[in-house]
């Protein structure tokens, strides 16, 4: 009985990993090649979406990190975020601008920058609506908590403003025409 339960657990995890991978690949493919076109989703695509939307499955995927996906087409592979902090004193003068809290080791920086991957959900939308309002609030709280940490590093800081930007790199057509500079697109501002 114990071995059967273990096998069931292993096959469940493998099934979920494959389902997330399939959905990620289909998201990337249809998002890239059919972004401007109407199309009917294949049954396997719809089925993978429905499986991932199930509450226990989505909680498990989020908890384990499997929800980040394994997309082959990876249309957001070049997307990256930057979080800028503007620290002001009591008179409203800018004390400094920072891009991250002070860290004592390299691993902390790596972990901090991996948080940026979650912010892709801030720009993802289905039918123009944000996917999950509670999750959006959760992401906002993360930004605000990071801002509090940065504020606590400088005792002269009275107010802090955090701005979340998305790097926008030129598409291939623009790049071929000579446009090579990236732009910052404001995603959110937090005070």
Say yes or no to pLDDT of 151 above 70: yes
Spans of all domains in the chain: 2-68, 81-190
Helices (H) and strands (E) in the chain, counts: 7, 6
8 A C-beta contact, residue 153 and residue 51:
no
- CA nearest to 131, candidates 43, 42, 36, 27: 27
Pair of tokens at residue 86:
């503007």
Task: Write the pLDDT tens digit of every residue in 44-100.
Answer: 999 999 998 898 888 888 777 777 655 444 444 546 788 999 999 999 999 999 988
Does pTM top 0.75 for this prediction?
A: no
């Amino acid at each position: 009985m114990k071995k059967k339960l273990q096998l069931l657990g292993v096959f469940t995890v493998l099934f979920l990993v494959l389902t997330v991978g399939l959905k990620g690949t289909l998201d990337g493919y249809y998002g890239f090649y059919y972004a401007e076109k109407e199309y009917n989703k294949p049954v396997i695509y719809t089925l993978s979406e429905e499986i991932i939307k199930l509450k226990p499955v989505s909680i498990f995927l989020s908890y384990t990190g499997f929800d980040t996906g394994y997309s082959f087409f990876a249309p957001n592979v070049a997307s990256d975020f930057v979080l800028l902090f503007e620290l002001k004193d009591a008179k409203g003068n800018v004390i400094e601008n920072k891009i991250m809290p002070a860290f004592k080791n390299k691993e902390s920086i790596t972990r901090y920058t991996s948080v940026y991957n979650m912010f892709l959900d801030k720009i993802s939308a289905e039918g123009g609506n944000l996917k999950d309002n509670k999750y959006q609030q959760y992401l906002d709280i993360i930004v605000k908590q990071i801002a509090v940490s940065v504020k606590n590093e400088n005792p002269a800081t009275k107010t802090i403003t955090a701005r979340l930007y998305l790097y926008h790199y030129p598409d291939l057509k623009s790049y071929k025409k000579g446009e090579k500079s990236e732009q910052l697109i404001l995603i959110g501002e937090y005070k």
